[in-house]
């Protein structure tokens, strides 16, 4: 199926800073794509280029088959939910939602019906007469959302939609947004700096750094098969070891004193990075095969405990173990094991 | 001192100031407006009738007020003042709004400089600047001689000593009072609101009319009042740039007070002027109070 929104080799500079560097991305119909990255990585600029609020220096933007690169924001069938919500303070909730419809020439009964419909969709049907300053943060976010979906855009652009909400409300809102998207059948592009939010909401996540997309993949792939160390580090804690490929195909990790078999064809002598998630490592009392070590430090986290295990050759391995069996103590000697499939070989 | 006492003490200072410089003189003016003019020092009759230093009654007259409604001159002067002030205010608004908007949208490091430029005329004497306008506008002035040299006109245009010149002088003198409150309001306007309007399909002009303008309305009102109120009572500009046909209440006031030495009548003119001007202030207050309830 043809993409709803296509960004083709777009570059945007602000003075000497390259905010978006030759980025291409397709947003499919009914798809939710998250743009994930630290502040200043170019994710918001990319979103604003999609909305038409920024003009790219080069590259093209398509909505459906139409080239909208030069089209002003008011002529694009996409709508943006601003991080600050940008509700009009002098208008009531209903007037805010009706504003965009009025610009399309919708009048009279249809205007009221469609604005009411949008408010009902976000469960604010009875607050239409309020002014934005009389609403809570969560309600304001819903008004901003209703204002966008009333226009029935092809793509809804969300700039840090949860940033102003407290943690409790955030999870609920994520689920509601997903349900709403299914019901309305519109594509979402979500800008966020929170990898948990990106993974919870998006079908695909674009991890961005320095204006470039490091990897664009479904959340599971990003976590389990990251393209490089930066992406791997972005999604939670990880052990990264430098190793050297041997002639038999295994990789030797010198500072741990171990050799691991990895799936991957490497030139003998080539240096590679091997990554392993802390929760894939099992801790057991000494005995049996595995990597030996001593617990140097531990952090109790409630559902689990993070152990920092020092191996005889000096390397430290980070392990996250569930708090089910007998806990291990400071200074205790342990054996670490992991399934071979848990090892990820990354470009160093 | 307890904090309550301290708070009352702090509040006492502005109250004392307002009482001394506003209410006390106002009460004096009010008192004089009920007196009759006479040749004495001070040149009006006593408010209290005394016998051997004991107050036995008050001697007040409404004749001064009655005169103002019976003599068409005063009504015409009030209306003339309000008309010239209103026209000047509208022109100042039309000039000041784009200026304030441009400054508010300028790069932050440029805004300070632009604001200083707006206020720069204040750094020289007001009178000197009005005299400068005279040399520009008079029949032998710079503008007329330039136009004659270019062959665009045969005889000098009458620009000075016209109501137009008075409006020009008022707009010129009070424009900063229009620009500053408008700037303060427009500068606070969140640019995301205009982006949201555009995103929702509003073309720039519609976004301005439905978002920028209504949100800057308190600034428009403040600016208009800051220009309109002093312009109504303006004396110097109509005196120096107006003609015999420019009838303004400030000039009447001056004539009554200094030329005719009729203090009671001058006081009555002032009291009526005050009442004329309090109405828009009350309106402004009401609007401000409503605006402060919605941020």
Domain boundaries, chain A: 5-233, 238-346
Average pLDDT rounded to a whole number, residues A55-76:
95
Residue B295 pLDDT exceeds 50: no
**Per-residue pLDDT tens over the stretch A179-198:** 888 888 899 999 999 988 99
Residues of B in Cβ contact (< 8 Å) with A79: 199-200
Residue B199's SS3 state is helix
DSSP state of B22: I
Domains A5-233 and A238-346 share a fold: no
ipTM: 0.84
Q: Which residue do the tokens 């003189």 mark? A: B25
* DSSP three-state, residue A227: coil
Highest mean pLDDT among A87-91, A227-231, A248-252, B12-16: A87-91
Q: Where does the pLDDT of residue A348 fall: very low under 50, low under 70, confident under 90, or very high at 90 and above? A: low
Q: How far apart are the first and last CA of chain A?
A: 36
Mean pLDDT (chain A) is 91
Architecture of domain A238-346: Beta Barrel (2.40)
The tokens for A178 are 């997903």
The chain A residue lying nearest B196, using CA atoms, is A86
What pLDDT digit, counting tens, does each position of A137-180 carry?
999 999 999 999 999 999 999 999 988 888 888 888 888 888 88
Q: Do A74 and B214 touch (CB under 8 A)?
A: no
Task: Check residue A271 and give its pLDDT.
Answer: 85
Average pLDDT, chain B: 89
Tell me the C-alpha distance between B227 and B92, whole Å: 8
Structure confidence at residue B1 (pLDDT)? 58
- Which among A89, A90, A103 is the nearest to B200, CB-wise? A103
Dihedral pair phi/psi, residue A177, rounded to 5°: -60, -40
Is the minimum CB–CB distance between A84 and chain B shorter than 8 Å? yes
Pick from B196, B202, B206: which is nearest to A82 by CB? B196
To the nearest whole Å, the CA of B176 is away from the closest chain A CA by: 27
CA distance B284 to A29: 53
Tokens at A143, concatenated:
């008004």
Q: What are the structure tokens assigned to A307, written together?
A: 């152990």
Question: What pLDDT shows up at residue A130?
Answer: 94
In this predicted structure, which of A23-37, A42-56, B33-47 has the lowest mean pLDDT?
B33-47
Tokens of A313: 């050759």
Q: Which CATH class for the A5-233 domain?
A: alpha beta
Q: How far apart are CA B11 and CA B15, in angstroms?
A: 6
For residue A307, the surrounding DSSP H or E stretch is strand A304-310
The residue in chain A having the minimum alpha-carbon distance to the alpha carbon of residue B194 is A86
Residues of A in contact with B192 (CB under 8 A): 82, 84, 86
Integer angstrom CA distances of residue A315 from A254, A310, A311, A325: 9, 6, 5, 26
For residue B294, pLDDT beyond 70: no
Q: Kindly report, residue by residue over B62-104, the tens digit of the pLDDT.
A: 999 999 888 888 999 999 999 999 999 999 999 999 999 999 9
**pLDDT one-digit tens code per residue, B166-218:** 999 999 999 999 999 999 999 999 999 999 999 999 999 999 999 999 999 98
User: What are chain B's domains?
Assistant: 65-293 (1.10.3720.10)
- Asked whether the beta carbons of A7 and A189 are under 8 A apart, the reply is no
Cα three-residue angle B48-B50-B52, rounded to 5 degrees? 160
Interface contact A14, partner B, CB < 8 A: no
Give the separation between CA A59 and CA A24, rounded to whole angstroms.
9
């Amino acid at each position: 199926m043809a993409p709803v929104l296509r960004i083709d080799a777009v570059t945007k500079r602000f003075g000497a800073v390259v905010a978006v560097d030759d980025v291409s991305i397709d947003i499919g119909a009914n798809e939710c794509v998250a743009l994930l990255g630290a502040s200043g990585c170019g994710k918001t600029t990319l979103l604003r280029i999609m909305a038409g609020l920024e003009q790219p220096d080069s590259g093209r933007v398509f909505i459906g088959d139409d080239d909208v690169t030069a089209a002003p924001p008011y002529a694009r069938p996409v709508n943006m939910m601003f991080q600050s919500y940008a509700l009009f303070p002098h208008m009531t909730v209903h007037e805010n939602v009706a504003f965009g419809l009025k610009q399309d020439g919708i009048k009279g009964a249809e205007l009221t019906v469609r604005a009411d419909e949008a408010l009902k969709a976000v469960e604010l049907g009875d607050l239409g007469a309020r002014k934005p300053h009389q609403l809570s943060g969560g309600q304001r976010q819903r008004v901003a959302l209703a204002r966008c979906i009333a226009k029935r855009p092809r793509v809804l652009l969300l700039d840090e939609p949860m940033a102003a909400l407290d943690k409790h409300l955030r999870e609920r809102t994520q689920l509601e947004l997903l349900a709403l998207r299914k019901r309305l059948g519109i594509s979402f592009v979500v800008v966020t700096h929170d990898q948990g939010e990106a993974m919870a909401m998006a079908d695909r996540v674009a991890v961005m750094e320095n204006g470039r997309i490091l990897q664009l993949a479904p959340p599971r792939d990003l976590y389990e098969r990251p393209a490089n160390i930066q992406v791997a580090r972005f999604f939670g804690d990880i052990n990264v070891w430098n190793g050297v490929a041997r002639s038999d195909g295994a990789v030797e990790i010198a500072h741990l004193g171990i050799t691991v078999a990895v799936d991957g064809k490497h030139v003998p002598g080539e240096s590679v990075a091997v990554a392993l998630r802390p929760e894939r490592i099992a801790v057991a009392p000494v005995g049996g095969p595995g990597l030996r070590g001593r617990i140097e430090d531990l952090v109790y986290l409630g559902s689990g405990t993070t152990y920092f295990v020092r191996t005889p050759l000096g390397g430290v391995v980070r392990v996250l173990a569930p708090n089910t069996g007998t806990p291990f103590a400071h200074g205790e000697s342990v054996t670490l094991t992991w399934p071979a499939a848990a090892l990820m070989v990354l470009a160093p | 001192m307890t904090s309550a006492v301290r708070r009352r003490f702090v509040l006492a200072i502005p109250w004392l100031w307002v009482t001394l410089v506003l209410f006390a003189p106002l009460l004096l003016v009010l008192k004089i407006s009920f007196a009759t003019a006479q040749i004495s020092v001070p040149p009006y009759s006593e408010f209290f009738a005394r016998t051997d230093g004991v107050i036995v009654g008050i001697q007040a007259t409404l004749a001064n007020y009655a005169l103002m409604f019976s003599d068409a001159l005063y009504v015409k002067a009030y209306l003339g003042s309000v008309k010239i002030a209103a026209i000047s205010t509208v022109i100042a608004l039309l000039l000041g709004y784009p200026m304030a908007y441009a400054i508010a949208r300028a790069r932050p490091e440029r805004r300070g400089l632009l604001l200083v430029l707006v206020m720069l005329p204040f750094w020289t004497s007001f009178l000197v600047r009005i005299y400068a306008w005279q040399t520009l506008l008079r029949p032998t002035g710079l503008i007329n001689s330039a136009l004659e040299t270019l062959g665009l006109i045969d005889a000098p245009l009458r620009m000075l000593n016209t109501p137009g010149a008075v409006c020009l002088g008022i707009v010129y003198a009070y424009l900063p009072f229009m620009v500053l409150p408008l700037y303060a309001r427009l500068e606070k306007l969140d640019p995301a609101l205009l982006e949201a309007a555009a995103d929702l399909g509003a073309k720039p002009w519609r976004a301005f009319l439905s978002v920028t303008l209504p949100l800057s309305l308190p600034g428009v009102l403040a600016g208009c009042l800051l220009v309109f109120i002093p312009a109504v009572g303006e004396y110097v500009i109509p005196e120096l740039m107006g003609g015999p046909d420019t009838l303004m209440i400030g000039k009447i006031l001056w004539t009554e007070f200094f030329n005719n030495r009729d203090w009671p009548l001058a006081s009555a003119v002032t009291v009526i002027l005050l009442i004329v001007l309090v109405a828009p202030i009350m309106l402004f207050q009401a609007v401000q109070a409503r605006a402060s309830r919605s941020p």
